[in-house]
Amino acid sequence: MFDEHARRVIDELPRLPELDPVQCRRALSRAYVAIVNQRVGSELPEGSPELSQLLSDLRRMVNALESVAVFDPLNGIQVAESARSASAFVAAEALALSAALLANAAVLPDDEKTSQSIEDPIQDGHAYTHIESGLLYMIGGYDINAVAVVAELVVPRAPDLGDAFWVSRCRAGGTLATALLRLCRGEIPGSVTRATLSERQLPNLGALANATRRALYAELTFATDGYLQWLGGSGDVDSALERIERVRKACVPPMPADGTVPADAGFSDIYHLASLLAAAIETTRMRSVVHAVPPPDGGDPTIRAQFGGYLERRAKGSTMLRGRPLLWPSTLEYVHQCLPGPEKDAVVSMPTGSGKSFLAELAVAHALTRGWVLYLAPTNALAHQIRRDLLRALRPFDGVTVSAFVGGAEYTALSDEEIGSGPFVAVMTPEKCALALRLYPDHFSRCSLCVFDECHLLNDSGRGGLADILLAQLFQAAPVMRMLLMSAMVANADELAAWLTTVRPNGAVPSKVKWRPSRAARGFVFVDQDRLESQRKALREALKGKKGALTCRDEVPIGWVMGLSGPWSSVDGADDYAAARLPIGAVHHVKRSKRGLVTENYDGWKNPIGASLAGHLARMGLPTIDFILSSRHHAFGQAADVVGALPDAVGDGPIPELIEAQLSIADAELGVPTEMRNLLRKGVAVHTAAMLQVEQAASEYMFASGKAKLMFATGTLAQGLNLPAAAVVVSGSQVGGGAHGQGMREVDAAAGLTRANELILNGFGRAGRPGFSNQGVVVLVSDHPFSAPIVANLDGRAAVGEYPVLGEPDASIVIKSPIESFLDELFTSSADDASRLEVSLVAHLSTFDGQDENAGTILRRTFAGYRKRNEFTDQYAALANARVAQLKSRFLEQEGVPPWMPKAAMKAGVEFFRAQRMWQAYVRRGLPEVSQLATWSLRDCFDVFIEVLSLMPVTRVSRYLDQLQTPTPRTRLNSLAAAVRPAERDNSAWDVPSGWDTTWAELAAVAFAYMSGASYTAVGAQLYGIDPRSYTSKRTDGARGIPPVFKFVGDIVERNLATDAGCFLALHEGWLEAAHFGVPCPEALQALPLCVRNGCSSLDELAWFRFGFRQRVCAHALAKAFPIPPLISNDEERAEYVRDARHMWLNGQTPDANSLLGFARTVITEGSSERN
């Protein structure tokens, strides 16, 4: 159950009698597995540990280790810090697990049986246990676990009537309990409790017990609140500790001369609580955000002056932002190593949920004093999330702006794509950054920090090469920039840091602390072998008594086996596993054909069993994610099959206003009611790439808020979105629909995760909810049924032998760069057989041909160059540069290639030959007169662009063709292309077949319908030539359903057409600059790539999309409701008009409550941190 870091922590336990670290680890894991089995109704096999034995083992650990963690140091006994932290953590875990075991079993120990009648919360055994566990977690460095362990505690109201001393005592106890809960939850109050007791007023122990307790409670309350105030930037921690020490001394009477302890040894519970509190303050004070984070040591004086206020606000939090009063271990490591500054580069490999975003935020806040910050994220969705989070976090800094540069890699020249000035954070994908670097290289000289989140993208075979080249170029373009690479999956952080140290001047440090705030037990599902054998015989016997073709079915029980020692190992034994029978089964059948052939199989396995298990866990109250690796469309099918509403689902009640608004926008986008509404009503969420962004956002909200207990997800959830669950089920171990990965085109895979095992481990990392659930469970459903006996001592080594992913650590990706193969090709292939990757990268490198900065020096700075450093000598770099120059020369020597073509290809981000073929097609069509060009509307630009595409050789437009059977313009183009002779397939003077241009016009009409705001069903109807009324809400994988329309829009319109439109624009710029210097590109042509990408058919619609609301159908509606005056004729004026009109609209000066615009306003105002 424990990850590498937690195992190391436990290994630091002091060697005490009968407390072996391995046995402690197994006991904790066994207790948690028992809790899960209790909760889900599993049946334990004979020989499983009894509840009393589990509780005895846990109590023994608490008693021994709490003394080491708390009392020994307070009494002057030297304890190594590592041993103290380990003891506190294990004691806290044991205490919390024992409380959960008792609660699930509905059994109370003797000292808690009367807790219902106790009105003093401090003497309530149940409450005291949880607070004790929370304080121990804080001492052990796991303060976020304290949040979870006290989450359900509610301080009861003190009695209003009764003895005055008793009532006063209970009120004081309630006040103290409230303060302690605030401490465990990290909540800093707005005001402190007034002192009701001074040192002279401390009563002696002969006074009334109630009055004494009231006074001692008040003193501890004041100390607790005083420490919380200190964490928030005021107060005095030393004074708080002095008060606690006075309480400790007051609680213990003088020892008799004979050394025996009197029967009434004072207020032992208060003494115990005060000791825990003192230890918690002593061990956490060094991690105070306000006091441990150093201020910037130079740069912008305004930001430096506001930095203290920023830290105080972050410690306290707000309604929109959770407070962070304490640094978590990995962040503390970064602060000590890199701040102020950051003064060094860093590679941070931190498990999911361990505070990587806050670490980056602190680095950003420091770096803003020295320039602007670049924040790279792999997806647009994550870029938006990062922007929202940073907007809220950096609000104390005046003048700091945060912008998300979203979209694809399509080239555009519009003003909002430029880097701003002043303190500024630009959040973008690597592709968008590469475009910005090509367009505005000088802007990057002021970049002070580059944060690369999910940096395992470097490993991606498609996008990793560009990312590696980009970083190498940034190293030169931004000389003062520091690097912060972050990932939860990287196994070779040391190697990445060594690379940065080699190619950068300031040195780099890898993270060493692998701290994770939650633990997850790994499980594996199997069929009950004994029952399977008996049922198999019974089913075959049943066939014998009947004639003809027949199928007999029965349900076979399912079990699971949990590993007790973290990742499974082939050297583990039976003591490292625990098995149980689940209350679900698999339907097994025996079938006889007409010819008498008898076969047997299951009605379904990995997806049905995964869904059944995930659904059962969710019904038992565990928020569960079922990761489906086979196809993005299976997620909707599994969700639809869930019968009935799950716990806490909204059912027929009102859906939250924000969610209803998002779903109503989805209705308008799709043209049919979104299926998500019915799914979310029964408490089931879905997250795949074949969804609208508003649908994904609705799913994320409902799952995070607990209104959806079950989510069916694909690889889209692995892209950094923080939606951890208490339970994770991974359905299958192979990616794709077939045994060898067939069906990959319908799979959502996270960028940079190249192996199925990496996707699985990324899913495993979602188990556990920091602040909500300290432990989690992850379960792998095998690709094919796996059978074993359900016995207490089941050995899991057979399963890990067949599914080795069970034994891999979470951080399992050894990052490599795809450029390594490019470097190999560079010296082994000729200019005539250069690979597509090689040609593509050469387009990015060819414009760098100086003595100091050229293709060879850039490649040498890449991670690939570092990994090949032994061969990559100066001579090798010179050869690389010559090879790139050779390819460039070969290209320029072709007939009709203008000298500006390499620059145009570089700006557009396409390879040379594609740009040249497009130019040749344009020349073949006929270039327009300059005077004519100036009059083009956006539709004119689009029509000419499509004409040019239709004249490009078949090889260059193959991405637009489709080999599927369902007839569409794409399949008809494919049929026409098949008749083109091989010699002409990449010839600019090829013979265009009859019907080719009209079929391209049909395809263009479908794309322009999308740009004009047509719904997905309307687009699909036009694409497939069917009645739009034939569409339903179902997201089936049908040839003419909604999912293929998503694929068409994503692949053809948003990716390919938009990129080619950017190339079309770049060609115009090169041509006009060379042949008609001073003549600008018309604004409609500049906007064409963004209009294609974002689904807009006019400059007004695009302006509302860019500056009003980035949602397609809403942007169209806003453009109609607030038309931009015709006199406004440039981009800046449009932006100003839209922003003013948006302000009026959002502030309710137009009635639109139940319209599409009303829903849009709700999403903007309720779903983000900004209104204007």
CA distance 510 to 494: 5
What's residue 115's pLDDT? 40
- The whole-model pTM stands at 0.91
Question: What is the residue whose two structure tokens read 């607790």?
Answer: 224
CA distance 1097 to 1010: 9
Residue 868 shares a structural domain with residue 954 = no
Least confident piece of the model among 445-449, 516-520, 835-839, 979-983: 835-839
What's residue 439's pLDDT? 81
Share of the chain above pLDDT 90, in %: 60
- Give mean pLDDT, residues 150-173: 85
pLDDT tens for 839-891 read 566 666 766 666 667 888 888 999 999 999 888 888 888 887 887 777 777 76
H or E element, residue 778? strand 775-781
Residue 1085 shares a structural domain with residue 1146 = no
Q: What is each CA distance from 546 to 533, 536, 542, 555, 598, in whole angstroms?
A: 21, 16, 7, 21, 13
Least confident piece of the model among 17-21, 386-390, 445-449: 17-21
Provide the β-strand partners of residue 186: none
Residue 485 shares a structural domain with residue 542 = no
Residue 470 shares a structural domain with residue 603 = no
Strand, coil or helix: what is 509? strand
What's residue 949's pLDDT? 97
Would the pLDDT of 516 be above 80? yes
Are 1114 and 1160 spatial neighbours (Cβ–Cβ below 8 Å)? Answer: yes
The residue segments making up the domain with residue 836 are 817-893
In a domain, 107, yes or no: no
In a domain, 115, yes or no: no
pLDDT tens for 655-709 read 999 999 999 999 999 999 999 999 999 999 999 888 999 999 999 999 999 999 9
Least confident piece of the model among 55-64, 423-432, 834-843, 873-882: 834-843
Strand, coil or helix: what is 202? coil
CA distance 961 to 636: 28
The structure tokens listed for 833 are 């057989």
Would the pLDDT of 924 be above 80? yes
What's residue 209's pLDDT? 79
In a domain, 375, yes or no: yes
In a domain, 284, yes or no: no
In a domain, 530, yes or no: yes
Confidence of residue 324 (pLDDT cuts 50, 70, 90): very high
What's residue 319's pLDDT? 81
Residue 1155 neighbours by CB distance under 10 Å:
14
Residue 374 shares a structural domain with residue 457 = yes
CA distance 20 to 13: 8
- Residue 409: φ, ψ to 5°: -95, 10
Q: Which of 807, 827, 853 is the last residue of a domain?
A: 807
Question: In the chain, what's the furthest Cα-to-Cα distance?
Answer: 113
Residue 882 shares a structural domain with residue 908 = no
Residue 625 shares a structural domain with residue 503 = no
Residues whose CB falls within 8 Å of the CB of residue 1078, separated by 6 or more in sequence, listed in order: none
CA distance 875 to 129: 69
CA distance 295 to 935: 56
Domain count across the chain: 5
Q: What is each CA distance from 720 to 141, 713, 714, 881, in whole angstroms?
A: 25, 14, 13, 37
Are 642 and 682 spatial neighbours (Cβ–Cβ below 8 Å)? Answer: yes
CA triple 213-216-217, angle to 5 deg: 80
Residue 616 shares a structural domain with residue 688 = yes
Would the pLDDT of 1001 be above 60? yes
Residue 949 shares a structural domain with residue 1034 = yes
Q: Which of 852, 875, 893 is the last residue of a domain?
A: 893
325: amino acid identity, one letter = P
- Give mean pLDDT, residues 157-176: 85
Residue 361 shares a structural domain with residue 441 = yes
Determine how β-strand 401-405 pairs with β-strand 345-349: unpaired
Confidence of residue 395 (pLDDT cuts 50, 70, 90): very high
Least confident piece of the model among 295-309, 347-361, 367-381, 754-768: 754-768
Residues whose CB falls within 8 Å of the CB of residue 985, separated by 6 or more in sequence, listed in order: 953, 954, 955
The structure tokens listed for 990 are 């090829």
In a domain, 188, yes or no: no
Q: Which of 856, 873, 893 is the last residue of a domain?
A: 893
Share of the chain above pLDDT 70, in %: 89
pLDDT tens for 735-768 read 765 433 334 445 455 555 556 777 788 888 888 8
Q: What is each CA distance from 115 to 104, 210, 215, 300, in whole angstroms?
A: 17, 18, 22, 57
E strand map for 441-481: 447-452
H or E element, residue 375? strand 372-376
CA distance 794 to 562: 10
Are 610 and 732 spatial neighbours (Cβ–Cβ below 8 Å)? Answer: yes
- Give mean pLDDT, residues 1097-1115: 95
Here the CATH number for the domain that contains residue 408 is 3.40.50.300
In a domain, 255, yes or no: no
Residue 1050 shares a structural domain with residue 1113 = no
H or E element, residue 842? helix 836-845
CA distance 557 to 588: 10
Question: What is the residue whose two structure tokens read 């976020």?
Answer: 144
CA gyration radius, the chain = 33
Highest mean predicted confidence (pLDDT) among 354-358, 745-749, 906-910: 354-358
What's residue 826's pLDDT? 66
Would the pLDDT of 837 be above 70? no
pLDDT tens for 776-827 read 999 999 999 999 999 988 888 888 888 888 988 876 788 999 888 878 776 6
Are 423 and 399 spatial neighbours (Cβ–Cβ below 8 Å)? Answer: yes
Confidence of residue 257 (pLDDT cuts 50, 70, 90): low
In a domain, 108, yes or no: no
CA distance 639 to 662: 19
- Give mean pLDDT, residues 375-392: 88
Residue 1132 shares a structural domain with residue 1113 = yes
What's residue 320's pLDDT? 80
CA distance 485 to 729: 29
- Give mean pLDDT, residues 71-92: 94
